[in-house]
Copies of this chain bind each other. A is one copy, B any other.
Amino acid sequence: MKIDFNNMLEKTIGGHGITETEINTISQRITKVHEQMNAKKGQMAWRALPYNQDEIVKDIVAQGKRINKEFDNFVVFGIGGSALGSKALFTGIKHLKYNELPKEKRGGARFYVVDNVDPDGINALFDIIDVKKTCFHIITKSGNTVETMSQFMIALSMLKDALGDNFKDNIILTTDKEKGILKKISNQYGFKTYTVPDGVGGRFSVLCPVGLLSAAVLNIDIDALFAGAKAMDEACTKESVWENPAYMYAMLMCIAMSNQVNISVMMPYADGLLNMAEWYAQLWAESLGKRVNNDGKDVYCGQTPVRALGVTDQHSQIQLYTEGPFDKVVTFIDVEQFNTTLTVPKTPIDMLDATYIEGQTINKLIASEMRATEYAVTQAGKMNMRITIDKMGAKAIGELFFFFEMATAAAGEFLSIDAFDQPGVEAGKIATFALMGREGYEKKAKELNKADEKDQDFVFQV
């Protein structure tokens, strides 16, 4: 993997780029950042995941084999960090029409991630799967996530109807080692259960059983995935920002943020990596979007991630990126080698001015468009950087996961905030309990109903 930060700099893009002075100023804080990164290793247990899971991976791979033998479908019930890693693995590594391939070409169960509580969405899934032939992986670290628990309850009841009391083989749970409803249920009823290790937050959990069971069911090479993560770990442990790309990414982004560059566009040039951009969007948003800093001061920190897709979004967003405000960094992800090649052949009709495309590959076209767009954005004086992946596959996916995790943790230190909590989601959870009539939330329910009084001048009915 190669990461090129040149187009972040004033000397390349002009007045809205980062200056040498800015880099010199902030880089004085590197030693402190590095100390904290080492001191907080307990909170960053995800850093050990590529190294300390030999036993569990053996078990997971065996489970994956059992699932693919016994079932036609594998369904993940989870949301946020319990879903996005699996989705990134699925499209990042597997055939892009996997579920529509015949079984012999897939070599495994069809794969679905259900990360919403849309009634039409969930009903649609149940319209196309036979629950008897489906294994459900229920993932909630807290063990209490209302969306996931609801899905679990629906599946349980359908399985009971279809299989009588023999439904346990169709269910696997992943949750905390002791806390939460799901763990209690696991203890009481003896479902096959995996654990989210301590110090592995939801958004950093893809390389533990949360994501690994999906990988196993998908016959993904977990060794290669870990090899990518390890290579990146090695590259991102040095103190010097000149030898540590995660620190460089974090440092330049934090300088940008201090200059009101409040948007981070993640724009891979590969269909399969769009879910990687989604995964990054949670990691970056939830880790750095914080009201208070470590001193308890109000800072209203955070950079809004935007996931974009090359070349598709050139025809949607690039007008804004080139001509609009100087408020964003665009991170291009370039792929040197796709899994396949596709050549535009000689056509049976005269293509007139388009004939120059004949004989060229789609691979060259997408690569050229990436460079062309990077050039246009750079010429427009907008900050951007380029991450180049040698080859689509498990190793590259492992590298990307680990790179962004390290960069996010380091950015938390540069910003002096806690990158590992999410206090801002509590208010919404409590309000949901109130509206769903959960016991003990009656007062909040009243408050919510009061909030519904509106100035009708600002309400339009069509």
Tell me if A318 counts as interface (CB < 8 A to partner B): yes
**Do B272 and A458 touch (CB < 8 A)?**
no
Task: Give the total of A residues in contact with B, Cβ under 8 Å.
Answer: 165
Chain B residues with CB under 8 Å of A354's CB are: 144, 146, 149, 153, 181
Contacts of A97 in B (CB 8 A): 124-125, 127-128
Check A153–B282 contact: CB distance below 8 A.
Answer: no
Oligomeric state, in copies: 2
Cβ of A121 < 8 Å from any Cβ of B? Answer: yes
| Chain B nearest Cβ from A120, distance in angstroms | 5
Query: Which of A101, A119, A350 is the most central at the interface, judged by chain B CB atoms within 10 Å of its CB?
Result: A119
Contact check, A345 vs B157: say whether CB atoms are below 8 A apart. Answer: yes
Check A340/B120 contact, CB under 8 A, given A317-B282, A320-B302. Answer: yes
A262 touches B379 (CB 8 A): no
Query: Is the pair A272, B120 in contact by a Cβ cutoff of 8 Å?
Result: yes
A262 to chain B, nearest CB (A): 5
Given the contacts A352-B184, A369-B432, A339 and B120 also touching, CB distance less than 8 Å: yes
Are A122 and B342 within 8 A (Cβ)? yes
Question: Contact mask A321-363 → B, CB, 8 Å, 1/0?
Answer: 1111111100000000011111011111111111011101111
Chain A 391-434 interface mask (CB, 8 Å, partner B; 1/0): 01000000100010000000000000000001111011111101
Known: A235-B460, A285-B320. A362 touches B431 (CB 8 A): no
A123-B342, A235-B462, A319-B289 known; A325+B301 contact, CB < 8 A: yes
Spot the interface stretch: A2-10, A35-43, A47-55.
A2-10
Given contacts A2-B460, A153-B345, A184-B352, 11 further A-B contacts (CB under 8 A): A3-B462, A4-B454, A99-B100, A118-B272, A181-B352, A185-B350, A263-B263, A281-B317, A288-B320, A302-B325, A371-B435
Q: Are B9 and A458 in contact (CB under 8 A)?
A: yes
Least Cβ distance of A328 to chain B in Å? Answer: 7
A45: Cβ under 8 A from any B Cβ? no
Are A348 and B128 closer than 8 Å at their CB atoms? no
Check A314–B425 contact: CB distance below 8 A.
Answer: yes
Q: List 19 A-B contacts (CB under 8 A).
A: A4-B460, A80-B314, A101-B127, A116-B312, A118-B271, A119-B366, A153-B345, A156-B348, A165-B348, A181-B353, A185-B350, A278-B316, A282-B315, A285-B317, A290-B323, A290-B324, A291-B324, A372-B434, A372-B448
Give Cα A312 to B79, complex, Å. Answer: 6
A103 contacts partner chain B, Cβ-Cβ < 8 Å: no
Q: A315 near B435 (CB under 8 angstroms)? A: no
Residue-wise, chain A 240-269 has the 8 Å CB interface mask toward B (1 for contact) of 001001001000000000001011000001
Stretch at the interface among A26-34, A212-220, A436-444: A436-444
A188 at interface by CB-CB < 8 Å: yes
CA distance A124 to B116 in the complex (A): 26
Distance in angstroms between the alpha carbons of A311 and B151 in the assembled complex: 14
Residues on B with beta carbons closer than 8 Å to the beta carbon of A62: none
The CA-CA distance from A163 to B191 in the complex, in Å, is: 54
Residues from chain B with a CB closer than 8 A to the CB of A300 are 323-326
Whether the Cβ atoms of A342 and B154 lie closer than 8 Å is yes
Complex: how many Å from CA A136 to CA B13? 42
B117 lies within 8 A of A366 (CB): yes
> By the criterion CB–CB under 8 Å, are A338 and B119 in contact?
yes
- With the chains together, A52 CA to B5 CA distance in Å? 52
